[in-house]
């Protein structure tokens, strides 16, 4: 059995598959390491304050997760290697410029432009680069694996993404404690430039034996967008589902301030990784458990469990309660995640599944856009003005419970009786 499995790894994937996944792993270290500290860095080191910092962090994530719909055109037109090279170049420059706002020798430049305009500009530059990574790596995984190993290939890819989410913040903690929080961004920049050279040296343009669908132009992308936005049922589902991601992004936006100011636990990055570590540990058994459930059942239960997690955090201002709460949130995430894409594909018209699946990341983007200013308001109103931190988590839980109810109502009144039920 072991020999057979090793043979699959050798023959089922092209060499570029492994190169792409190694690049992805180290890119995730840089991305999640910087994301773990970004809100605190912008608020405290750059001096923007919690409200502005979390709003800009939300804008950053919104652009990263909304632009891949358009970024795929660059992959089609210029190829995987050129697009991936551009991605790491933009990441390298962008991360450094974000870090420059916290470095002493960068203050003259930042002050001349203005802290907020400067930060907005460099965050958008970095986010544009980040939007190119997903179509590049996901497309490479698909093209460099055989039909029989494609499912395994994506499993390897998602496992490495979660490892990046778990290890990246731990690496960021070491850099922050030994060098300073601004150097987390500098290290992400250095990592990105090393990945740029790695791409140029080792990444080969993937070749697929399967026929391609043809190159899409920007005009076609925008026509596809209009097609999707005219589908009220589908867009309603994506908007409702964004409620989950409004909760999720609080782990990186308001939760770090709660850890530092209420729990008085200086290693806030460690608690941010509880979600990723839990996902790694439970995703396989939870996926097996919900495999035969109706998608709406699994997603609704996942929403409900994730919502309750914030009430656990609200119940006791302790590190133990925070760990249990975030772990419970991860259980909810693992419960709904495997069925989401299945449900999206079933909602799409049969001849437009590919187009509609391209918008699957839209709830992540919407959630980030809303969660940013919401997180800043929660910190200001309930950590620093009313001194009632439990209320901020009750509000987050209420958003989740409300989204759960809306999802059930949506399924009852908008989805056809025969759709994935």
Domain boundaries, the chain: 1-210, 217-421
Cα–Cα distance measured from residue 31 to residue 184, given in angstroms and rounded to the nearest whole number = 10
Please check whether the two domains, 1-210 and 217-421, share a CATH topology.
yes
Burial 261-281 (b: 16+ CB within 10 A, else e): ebbeeeebbbbbbbbbbbbbe
Pull the structure tokens for residue 237.
Answer: 């589902």
Domain 1-210 has CATH 2.70.70.10: no
Ramachandran region, residue 207 (left: φ > 0; alpha: ψ -120 to 50; beta: rest): beta
Cα–Cα distance measured from residue 26 to residue 32, given in angstroms and rounded to the nearest whole number = 10
Count of CB atoms situated within 10 Å of the CB of 227:
14
Cα–Cα distance measured from residue 165 to residue 71, given in angstroms and rounded to the nearest whole number = 23
- Give the pLDDT of the chain (421 residues) as one tens digit per residue: 555 555 555 667 888 999 999 999 999 999 999 999 999 999 999 999 999 999 999 999 999 988 877 776 777 778 889 999 999 999 999 999 999 999 999 999 999 999 999 999 999 999 998 888 888 888 888 888 887 887 778 778 888 888 999 999 999 999 999 999 999 999 999 999 999 999 999 999 887 554 445 556 667 667 777 777 888 888 888 999 999 999 999 999 999 999 999 999 999 999 999 999 999 998 888 878 887 788 888 899 999 999 999 999 999 999 999 999 999 999 999 888 777 877 776 776 665 665 676 677 889 999 999 999 999 999 999 999 988 999 999 999 999 999 999 988 887 777 654 444 4
Positive or negative, the Cα torsion across 144, 149, 153, 154? positive
Tell me which residue has tokens 């544009």: 128
Cα–Cα distance measured from residue 328 to residue 319, given in angstroms and rounded to the nearest whole number = 14
Q: Residue 287: which residues within 8 A CB-CB, separation 6 or more?
A: 334, 338
Cα–Cα distance measured from residue 251 to residue 57, given in angstroms and rounded to the nearest whole number = 12
C-beta separation of 14 from 206 below 8 A: yes
The predicted structure's pLDDT at residue 70: 77
Cα–Cα distance measured from residue 416 to residue 113, given in angstroms and rounded to the nearest whole number = 54
Q: Residue 194: which residues within 8 A CB-CB, separation 6 or more?
A: 26
C-beta separation of 328 from 305 below 8 A: yes
Pull the structure tokens for residue 66.
Answer: 């909304």
Domain 217-421 has CATH 3.40.630.10: no
The predicted structure's pLDDT at residue 146: 82
Pull the structure tokens for residue 29.
Answer: 């270290």
What Rg value do the Cα atoms of the chain yield, rounded?
Answer: 21
Supply the pTM of this predicted model.
0.89
The predicted structure's pLDDT at residue 4: 53
- CA-nearest of 287, 71, 53 to 162 is 287
- CA-nearest of 141, 96, 371, 347 to 242 is 371
């Amino acid at each position: 059995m072991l020999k057979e499995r090793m043979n699959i790894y050798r023959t089922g994937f092209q060499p570029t598959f492994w190169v792409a996944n190694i690049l992805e792993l180290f890119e995730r270290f840089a991305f999640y390491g910087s994301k773990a500290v970004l809100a605190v860095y912008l608020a405290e080191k750059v001096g923007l304050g919690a409200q502005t910092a979390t709003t800009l962090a939300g804008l950053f994530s919104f652009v990263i997760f909304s632009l891949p719909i358009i970024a795929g055109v660059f992959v089609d037109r210029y190829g995987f290697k050129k697009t991936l090279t551009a991605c790491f170049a933009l990441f390298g420059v962008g991360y450094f410029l974000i870090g420059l706002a916290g470095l002493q020798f960068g203050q003259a430049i930042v002050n001349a432009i203005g802290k907020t305009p400067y930060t907005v500009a460099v965050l958008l530059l970095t986010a544009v680069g980040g939007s190119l990574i997903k179509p590049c790596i996901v497309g490479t995984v698909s093209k460099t694996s055989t039909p029989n190993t494609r499912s395994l290939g994506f499993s390897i890819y998602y496992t490495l993404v979660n490892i990046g989410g778990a290890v990246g913040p731990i690496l960021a903690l070491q850099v922050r404690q030994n060098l300073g929080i601004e150097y987390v961004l500098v290290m992400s920049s250095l990592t990105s430039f090393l990945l740029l050279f790695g791409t140029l040296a080792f990444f080969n343009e993937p070749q697929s034996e399967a026929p391609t669908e043809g190159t899409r132009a920007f005009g076609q992308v925008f026509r596809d967008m209009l097609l999707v936005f005219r589908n009220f049922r589908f867009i309603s589902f994506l908007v409702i589902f964004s409620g989950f991601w409004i909760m999720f992004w609080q782990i990186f936006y308001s939760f770090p301030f709660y850890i530092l100011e209420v729990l008085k636990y200086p290693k806030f990055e460690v608690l941010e990784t509880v979600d990723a570590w839990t996902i790694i540990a439970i995703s396989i058994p939870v996926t097996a458990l919900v495999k035969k459930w109706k998608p709406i059942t699994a997603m609704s239960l996942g929403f409900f469990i994730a919502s309750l997690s914030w009430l656990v955090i609200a119940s006791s201002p302790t590190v133990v309660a925070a760990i249990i709460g975030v772990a419970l949130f991860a259980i909810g995430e693992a419960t709904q995640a495997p069925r989401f894409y299945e449900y999206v594909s079933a909602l799409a018209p049969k001849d437009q599944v590919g187009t509609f699946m391209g918008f699957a990341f839209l709830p992540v983007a919407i959630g980030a856009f809303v969660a940013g200013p919401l997180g800043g308001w929660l910190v200001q109103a309930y950590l620093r003005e009313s001194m009632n931190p439990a209320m901020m988590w009750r509000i987050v839980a209420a958003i989740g419970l409300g989204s759960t109810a809306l999802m059930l109502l949506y399924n009852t009144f908008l989805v056809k009786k025969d759709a994935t039920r």
